[in-house]
Structure 1
């Protein structure tokens, strides 16, 4: 009989759970879906606000180097600061074992100051993030509630509209932003920078970042391989209105292939367990950082998969255009669909990461030979290196095309240079040319056409001018 009593009491205790309540923030329990699930098996309550010690560090165009501490419990600190109601406010929220006074966080504010007048607030919750992962993941709830309380103070004291607020969260910080957004009706925008997978992927939307947390939610996935066995820290789950998967979202160029990178980054940005963080996971905020100064350098293409994108099946941009991954993604907000959308693009392997995608199609002329063809684009803003278009049997009259990601936007394309070779000694010195080359830029609807009647020997440049140019008549 004893077993019959102990089992129900045990189950009753499990269902009831524990709860903690804090002024202005509400109550937090360790019942489902916050704990006791397959994703969150451990029953862990978040720490108190005093223990986490979240700080709001304000930088503005007037004080770009030294922060002003804002305290929601003391609105006079806001009154005495450089916070300006007329400006947008962007909050930057760090993730696990990071802190609010890091180089990348301040660099993000400084890049913003180059392009806009803005209140840039760094949310520092390092005491709550530099602990065990399970505890930090639960502390997210209190930090998100504190951020929501901060927004409420701005609304109440300054009639500041939440629509002018943009939350940018990296890793666990993305879910902090989600928690704050779920508590703030009418929040303008949330950007999730590689939202962390463990304890969040597959959970109900109240636990994690999701599209209902703001009017516009954009997410950048850079470490989306499964945590087990690949040690991918980011989530593969769609969590925004638009989800970007640069380079496929799992293995970023320039990051070592071993599961745990030796870095952490030359900036020395992590304290504590430095080898915990993978290079891929950090790429998300590096791309965002650079996107601020490159309004058109991260065009992303709607596509069903990265394999299709790499197979040139998702070019050019559709009629409604392509969103820009990063800072300017919200310019696409009016074109989002009811269903979440996946977007793909490629980046460079180091600064500068921005790339501009082109498709080149060429029709061969001259002799039939085996070899390879390369082209370089020359435009009003500069010229590209040579890119491969075709390798194989080169037949006159045959048309071949390829897409490539250039390191710069060449502007208006003025001419194209064609080169072929096969590195085979041929005493007849065959000549090959391109009767016509068309070039299309991903985001634009313009197609450029270049023509030539000439053929050239191997390793000799052939310049093609616009088809209606006097030089080609």
Structure 2
């Protein structure tokens, strides 16, 4: 008869789980919190470094088009490369079923070379990512350990401080960055580009990206709708010091095209279908790439919710200012505050995605009519389209306010043009005007005032000048 002790030992063995060790990278277990939990029911061990085949592809200002392969196991490859210790190093880490020599990764490096001298290292772990999702999730741990190993080689052999390092990870790559950061004391920065939700949201900090993984962690959420039923791939959980939710974080402008139009305007069937299925999820790295070239084009506003932001309740920036989403988020003075910080902004629907938010108030003059008011701003850097400010009863002396996101920074505002219409035949040809229009830029406290004593007929432009 089988003893109770034997049964107990058998069950204990089952609970303990398995472990696998890979030399200097350490040991990896499939027990809690890595497996056997509600969020991670499957027990899966990560593949070996040899099977994953991670590569570190270095691009620099001197070799922007062809990479140099760096091997942590052979520091002479670093010695012989264009890696320079007096520059920052930014690693770009792709996600599930992606690869490190994708065009978006190289574009991000090239945008950096336009604004800075930098070591740009693309982490290619495609063999470990192009497998079943649960296996790729666990391979993240080995890839993160390999990135940490590379940072250790740079520190040991070249006295290169981890504080000079910035890890940029998309999707599963964001959690690779988190794993590397948890193994690297003093890491400077991690940017999570739509960190993936499944198998990570709600897990312990040990498993996923979290603010303790670097001195500064910033996160861009672009596909934060629930996985079921909305097929949102990204996490809605706040996992950084600054969490940005462009366009509310769930539905990105320009992502509602039908599948055929996406395939026709992208290279090849595969990238077309991928962009259609995961369009919101991929927007995060497109926003980041654009942010590199637009240092002030992604101003983000602290706000309780996107609904409040859309209701014009979060403008202008508070006294401590607003951060820029993306490349320049680390310039924000309050970046590493211990409180969770949620930020909202709107973007365009195609590149360039940058937008500049303006607040406008219009004080009416002339006749009382029903209609709509539009305003365009003219500055030393260009002028905006006409934007709707108000629809309804236009009553002399009343003031109507609105905010809009322009596709350019007009610079110093020199004049404002006012237009009204109501598309109603009126034999008296009423005239309406704006006695005063005030304009405010989102990131500035300055209010600009423009005045006019004239009134105009429907669909006739009225120019207001500074007063």
TM bucket by the smaller chain? over 0.9
- Give the Cα–Cα distance (whole angstroms) in 2 for the partners of residues 434 and 103 of structure 1: 50
Q: How does 1:273-422 map to 2 (within 5 A)?
A: 274=274, 277-332=277-332, 334-422=334-422
Change (3 A) 1:387 1:47: same
Structure 2 residue aligned with 1:11: 11
Change (3 A) 1:395 1:178: same
Change (3 A) 1:269 1:403: farther
| TM-score (normalised: structure 2) | 0.97
Q: Deviations over 1:388-427 (max 9, x none)?
A: 0000011110000000000000000000000000000001
Aligned residues: 467
Once structures 1 and 2 are overlaid, which stretch shifts more, 79-88 or 3-12? Answer: 3-12
Q: Deviations over 1:194-253 (max 9, x none)?
A: 000000000000100000000000000000000011000000000100000000000000
Change (3 A) 1:182 1:411: same
Q: How does 1:61-460 map to 2 (within 5 A)?
A: 61-256=61-256, 266-267=266-267, 274=274, 277-332=277-332, 334-460=334-460
Change (3 A) 1:262 1:43: farther
| Residues 220 and 284, structure 1, Cα contact 8 Å, conserved in 2 | yes
SS of 2:206's equivalent in the other structure is: coil
Change (3 A) 1:197 1:269: farther
Change (3 A) 1:258 1:266: closer
Change (3 A) 1:12 1:51: same
What runs of 5+ residues in structure 1 fail to find an aligned partner?
Answer: 468-473
Structure 2 residue aligned with 1:48: 48
| Residues 53 and 128, structure 1, Cα contact 8 Å, conserved in 2 | yes
- Once the two structures are TM-superposed, the CA of residue 6 in structure 1 deviates from its matched residue by 6.9
SS of 1:64's equivalent in the other structure is: coil
Superposition RMSD in Å: 2.0
Q: Deviations over 1:281-328 (max 9, x none)?
A: 000000000000000000000001000000000000011111000000
Change (3 A) 1:222 1:137: same
Change (3 A) 1:262 1:380: closer
- Give the Cα–Cα distance (whole angstroms) in 2 for the partners of residues 271 and 432 of structure 1: 52
- Once the two structures are TM-superposed, the CA of residue 8 in structure 1 deviates from its matched residue by 2.8
Change (3 A) 1:267 1:170: farther
What runs of 5+ residues in structure 2 fail to find an aligned partner?
Answer: none
- Give the Cα–Cα distance (whole angstroms) in 2 for the partners of residues 279 and 17 of structure 1: 38
| TM-score (normalised: structure 1) | 0.95
Change (3 A) 1:99 1:20: same
- Give the Cα–Cα distance (whole angstroms) in 2 for the partners of residues 166 and 265 of structure 1: 33
- Once the two structures are TM-superposed, the CA of residue 10 in structure 1 deviates from its matched residue by 4.5
- Once the two structures are TM-superposed, the CA of residue 270 in structure 1 deviates from its matched residue by 6.0
